[in-house]
């Protein structure tokens, strides 16, 4: 990797200004500092962004509490007797907020270590004399390189406008003053499913509506269907192919109307409604529309090196955008990777050495039980693209480790090129799927084929053996199946 250039003199202006302190922005800022750049980050709300403060991290703290509670409730056969077991909702929420505060402080400490200046102010774009400029609290802040990493915000639909009290976004859903007795979740993407699992596990009656034919629409259909069955067994009422029609307040509850997959009108009365219908670029705060930059379906448009495009599609000199605000998979790790690639390019690192982002291999995870982890093409997409493939599947129930831990739901599924053995995709339901998928990401990134995986000896008994079992199954060589 190219060595960092000399640091700019203390009295000079910044080399790089980053707008947004989330997982895209703060990672870009630190990488720029590592490469010898003088960096300023403009973040008016929370260092660490939504991920650290209201998303990825604190929700995982809540989910961990729910997982432990659910495990203990069924622990009698393991010799764990929990008479009088109860869930303290307030304590779980307080713990998640404590974790979030720790994340926020951690980013601040990293800024100090890397001599990054943080401006707790509001940034906006403005075009003057045909030139795009950045203003912070009304004053222009200029730099050779300005990176927009402003993230995304919950999307709303006209018939379901959150009020923060009865109709919620994920912000309110993870910090309610008390646990609701019943909850309806509109949208069965990762956010909707995670909240549905959490509240159901702690005793809330949960109903889920999804307009598309499957939950987790971006996942392999076989994995999604098996998860739907498992969540239904846990007590979650799931309606796919369902159209939300509206809701009205009746006393202290909400009457929700929807049309099911058979076209029949239905009603359900719940205490709270969670809107999880997706997110859109957080562009209003920076006045992107009035600044004349190109906006594509609610997100900032960029070129292959994250250079911001103007309304005519040409790069804006010195401006870049990364992360959720440019669309694509809306994932924290994708934003961080884009931040690094963007900074390495503007710092002059050789193109062949830049850590470029391969969206075709971008992993995803859904943190429910059983857990989901995935990477690359689904079986359906591979066949739709006309690829000749081998598919291997190995169930958790055939694993000694899974039997010992009681995590027997789910499977590992791999999609391989029939001729070369290239790993085209991998999909995991069960165990520690979000961690297990990492090994397959590395295998694909290193251009390993099924042959190398089959020739690798893995420790026993582990969940990792299930992954190898899926490769064996693709060739009809599975030992324990």
**Which CATH number is 84's domain given?**
3.50.50.60
426 occurs within a structural domain: yes
Query: Is the residue at 255 inside a domain?
Result: yes
Is residue 405 in a domain? yes
- Joined tokens for residue 308: 């911001």
- Letter string b/e over residues 171-207, b meaning 16 or more CB atoms within 10 A of that residue's CB: ebbbbbeebbebbbbbbbbbbbbbbbbbbbbbbbbbb
Q: Please tell me whether residues 394 and 452 are part of one structural domain.
A: yes
Q: What is the per-residue pLDDT for 11? A: 59
Residue 426 sits in a domain of what CATH number? 3.30.390.30
Rounded Cα distance between 286 and 20, Å, is 11
**Residues present in the chain in total:** 481
What is the pLDDT at residue 3? 41
pLDDT of residue 152: 93
Does some domain include residue 479? no
For residues 202 and 136, membership in a common domain is answered with: no
**199 and 309, same domain (yes or no):** no
Domain boundary among 277, 294, 310: 277
Residues 179, 268, single domain; the answer is yes
How many domains does the chain contain in total? Answer: 3
Burial grade of 277 (CB within 10 A; 0-12, 13-18, 19 or more) = buried
The helix (run of H) or strand (run of E) holding residue 267 is: strand 265-270
Q: In this structure, how many other beta carbons lie within 10 angstroms of the beta carbon of residue 166?
A: 17
Question: Which residues constitute the domain of residue 432?
Answer: 370-474
Boundary-marking domain end, from 317, 332, 359: 359
Judgement on whether residues 147 and 209 belong to the same structural domain of the protein: no
Q: Which of 316, 334, 359 is the endpoint of a domain? A: 359
Report pLDDT for 2: 42
- Beta strand pairing call for 145-148 and 16-19: parallel
Q: Distance between CA 395 and CA 377 in Å, rounded?
A: 20
The CA distances from residue 433 to 51, 56, 332, 409, in Å, are: 20, 16, 17, 12
Residues 206 and 57 in one domain: no
Domain check: are 407 and 270 in the same one? Answer: no
145 part of the active site: no
Please name the residues in contact with 59: beta carbons below 8 A apart, sequence gap of 6 or more.
Answer: 96, 170, 174, 194, 195, 198, 367
Dihedrals φ, ψ of 231, to 5°?
A: -65, -35
- State whether 22 and 149 are in the same domain: yes
Query: Between vectors from CA 448 to CA 363 and to CA 387, what angle results, nearest 5°?
Result: 70
Active-site choice (64, 118, 455, 460)? 460
Residue 57 placed within a domain: yes
Do 303 and 173 share a domain, yes or no?
A: no
One domain, residues 35 and 99: yes
Q: How many helices (H) and strands (E) does the chain have?
A: 13, 26
pLDDT in tens, the chain (481 residues): 444 333 444 458 999 999 999 999 999 999 999 999 999 999 998 889 888 788 889 999 999 999 999 999 988 888 988 888 999 999 999 999 999 999 999 999 999 999 999 999 999 999 999 999 999 999 999 999 999 999 999 988 888 999 999 999 999 999 999 999 999 999 999 999 999 999 999 999 999 999 999 999 999 999 999 999 999 999 999 999 999 999 999 999 999 999 999 999 999 999 999 999 988 999 999 999 999 999 999 999 999 999 999 999 999 999 999 999 999 999 999 999 999 999 999 999 999 999 999 999 999 999 999 999 999 999 999 999 999 999 999 999 999 999 999 999 999 999 999 999 999 999 999 999 999 999 999 999 999 999 999 999 999 999 999 999 999 999 999 999 8
């Amino acid at each position: 990797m190219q060595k960092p250039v000399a640091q700019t003199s203390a009295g000079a202006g910044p080399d790089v200004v980053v707008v947004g302190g989330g997982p895209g922005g703060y990672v870009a800022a630190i990488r720029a500092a590592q490469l010898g750049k003088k960096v300023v980050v403009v973040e008016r709300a929370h260092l660490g962004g939504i991920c650290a403060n209201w998303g990825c991290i604190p929700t995982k703290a809540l989910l961990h509490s729910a997982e432990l509670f659910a495990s203990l409730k069924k622990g009698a056969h393991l010799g764990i007797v929990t008479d009088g077991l109860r869930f303290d909702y307030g304590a779980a929420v307080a713990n998640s907020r404590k974790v979030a505060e720790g994340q926020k402080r951690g980013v601040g400490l990293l800024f100090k270590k890397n001599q990054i200046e943080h401006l707790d102010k509001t940034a906006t774009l403005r075009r003057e004399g045909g030139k795009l400029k950045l203003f912070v609290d009304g004053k222009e802040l200029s730099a050779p390189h300005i990176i927009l990493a402003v993230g995304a915000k919950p999307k709303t639909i006209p018939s379901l406008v959150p009020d923060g009290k009865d109709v919620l976004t994920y912000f309110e859903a993870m910090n309610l003053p008390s646990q609701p007795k019943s909850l309806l979740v509109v949208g069965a993407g990762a956010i909707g499913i995670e909240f549905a699992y959490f509240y159901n596990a702690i005793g809330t009656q949960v109903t889920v509506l999804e307009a598309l034919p499957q939950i987790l629409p971006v996942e392999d259909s076989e994995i999604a269907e098996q998860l739907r069955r498992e969540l239904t067994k846990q007590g979650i009422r799931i309606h796919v192919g369902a159209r939300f029609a509206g809701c009205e307040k009746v006393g202290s509850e909400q009457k929700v109307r929807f049309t099911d997959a058979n076209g029949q009108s239905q009603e359900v009365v719940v205490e709270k409604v969670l809107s999880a219908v997706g997110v859109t670029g957080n562009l209003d705060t920076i006045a992107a529309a009035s600044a004349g930059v190109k906006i594509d379906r609610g997100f900032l448009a960029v070129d292959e090196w994250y250079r911001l495009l103007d309304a005519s599609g040409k790069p804006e000199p010195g401006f870049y955008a990364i992360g959720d605000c440019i669309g694509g998979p809306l994932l924290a790790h994708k934003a961080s990777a884009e931040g690094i690639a963007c900074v390495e390019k503007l710092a002059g690192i050789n193109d062949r050495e830049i850590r470029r982002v391969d969206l075709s291999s971008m992993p995803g995870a859904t943190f429910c039980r059983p857990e989901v982890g995935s990477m690359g093409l689904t079986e359906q997409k591979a066949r739709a693209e006309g690829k000749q493939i081998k598919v291997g599947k190995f169930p958790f129930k055939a694993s000694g480790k899974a039997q010992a831990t009681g995590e027997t739901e789910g499977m590992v599924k791999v999609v391989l090129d029939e001729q070369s053995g290239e790993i085209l995709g991998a999909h995991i339901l069960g165990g520690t799927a979000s961690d297990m998928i990492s090994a397959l990401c590395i295998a694909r990134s290193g251009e390993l084929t099924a042959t190398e995986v089959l020739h690798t000896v893995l420790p026993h008994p582990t969940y990792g053996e299930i992954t190898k079992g899926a490769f064996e199954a693709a060739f009809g060589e599975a030992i324990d199946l």
